[in-house]
Amino acid sequence: DTQLICSYHNYECVPSEQELKKIVARLLKKNPAILKIAAKAQCYKDLVTLQNISNDLHAKSIPSVVLAMGEYAASQRLLSPYRDALTYTCLDQEDTAAPGQIALREYRALQKKNTPKIFGILGGAQVATSFSPKIHNALFISHSIDSLYTTFPTSDLRDAWEGCTQLGVAGFSITAPWKQEILPFLDIVQGIAAELGSVNTVIKRDGKWVGENTDVAGIKQGYPSLRNRHHAVILGAGGVVPSVTAALKSLDVQTISVWARRT
């Protein structure tokens, strides 16, 4: 009565889709109960390749587990319990058996989802440790919103944008260093985002990608005590500075200084 899981692991890269199909065919000759593919994604295009393989296996009603490993794996791992025959996790984040594994407590916190929409924070490498997923996912659960929020770290905006949109991501929070660089990828830039040339929120509406700026409103509403101050100092010269400056001006701050390091 023993059931067999036949697996292929690649800790270096994701093979081409054609090569993965050959690997799948070879594994299926073992007549496994479940087929498993795990490979290290080097870019978001690799996640698309793995999703195509997963979709092909599902279309053929083959019980399977298709997992990404590495720094780009968060969104794909997060969705694994909804797509795969089973998934792999770790008890604590410090004890991962494969790069990119998600801790069991994080999966447990995401119960009661059906066919969730995917959102996430798109930024540099620093977003891999962002608290944004915990905040947004807690709010999704609190308000019974069938969505998940994850991280999209990247040093290549075009790869991330093309890969994530092919993966069906419904929207992004945009952070450093992409608040200005994201503009050419958008169909519409609304309101003060167009005026400042700085976007922090991107949502797909009616088939078009719409960029907005909520930074200005967030600062005004979050820091009303700044109104009518004589002098404000902004530490750092990142992409949010135009929004902070606009918010301070609207709060009637008299003088504004920006202090930043030279690199």
Query: Catalytic site residues?
Result: 179
**Cβ–Cβ < 8 Å for 181, 175:** no
257, amino acid identity = S
CA nearest neighbour of 41 among 19, 2, 11:
11
User: Count of H helices and E strands in the chain?
Assistant: 9, 11
Q: What ranges make up the beta strands (E) of the chain?
A: 5-10, 34-40, 64-69, 117-123, 147-153, 171-174, 188-189, 201-205, 208-212, 231-235, 255-259
